[in-house]
Amino acid sequence: RVVYVNGRFRPHRNAMVHVEDRGYQLADGVYEVCEVRDGRLVDQRRHTERLLRSLAELRIPLPLPLAALDVVLHETVRRNRVTDGLVYVQVTRGVARRDHGFPPAGTRPSLVVSARRTDREQNERLAAAGVAVVTLAETRWARVDIKSISLLPNVLAKQAAREQGAREAWFVDRNGYVTEGASSNAWIVTGAGAVVTRPVGPDILRGISREVVKDALAAEGLTFEERPFTVAEALQAREAFLTAASQIVMPVVRIDGRPIGGGRPGPVAAALRRSFHAHAE
């Protein structure tokens, strides 16, 4: 395996950044995760646009031209011979003596791009069984629409989920509404058949998979409701699922230990998973 680090491809075992990188010391950076399927980057344009938006919100410049980033992404996939997998892109504000304020002008942002394979069949088996989620209080900052590498609440939530035998944690705001998962967007299908997810805003990440599913719903004539839902409503839902580049559409069959939809993946989630790549770019 090789990893792109600031202009060079390095063997994975010594792909390193400096100890004074602001990503390492201050989590001062952003990232993207893009699916690779049949050797192609899925929805690369939208992932790149979101990366540029996250960078702009934090006033971190992209340290190379966009055309060069495109070459690096494809080279990273090609050199690692990834057919099905994920590409990880991280940009931090660079290496500088530790100081909370921005570093001196001219400090070059650090760019790392890696790619790894995923097991398509294993993911399909997971989706066929569905996953469990647990709910916990929203503890993240107020700008989670920025895809920041500052992920401590997400780390703790994911670990709490794991310790309860679940794959994902759903954050719940002070009013009892689900915001999103630790690394995915959250969805339910109501008894009336409407597919519901929280509106975009500063309190969720605008998932690319979320956008793809929106398009799939329109194409399939399913009712889409963009509104917050409570944990109580989710527990009564006919189906639940989550979306992320790393999961596509993943059925949720248990919430806080209670079965959803009889504890088996439902037809809407299954149909959306099947048609997903027809609606992605």
Residues in contact with ligand PDD by CB under 6 A are 33, 180, 183-185, 205, 207-210, 243-246
CB of 139 to ligand PDD, least distance (A): 13
How many other CB atoms sit within 10 Å of the CB of residue 129? Answer: 13
**Cβ-based nearer residue to ligand PDD, 66 or 155:** 155
**14: exposed, middle or buried (C-beta count within 10 Å: 0-12, 13-18, 19+)?**
exposed
Nearer to ligand PDD, 32 or 95 (CB): 32
For residue 97 the two structure tokens come to: 């003596």
CB-based contacts of 191, cutoff 8 Å, min separation 6: 236, 237, 238
Please, what is the minimum distance in Å from the beta carbon of residue 279 to ligand PDD? 13
Judged by beta carbon, residue 180 or residue 239, the one nearer ligand PDD is 180
Q: Closer CB to ligand PDD, residue 49 or residue 124?
A: 49
Instruction: Determine the length of the chain.
Output: 281
Widest pairwise Cα distance in the chain: 58
Contact call for residues 97 and 61 (beta carbons, < 8 A): no
The minimum distance between CB 90 and ligand PDD, in angstroms, equals 11
Instruction: Tell me if residue 147 is catalytic.
Output: yes
Least Å from the CB of residue 98 to ligand PDD: 26
Catalytic option among 93, 147, 198, 273: 147
What is the C-alpha to C-alpha distance for residues 96 and 50, in angstroms, rounded to an integer? 26
* Residues annotated as part of the active site: 147
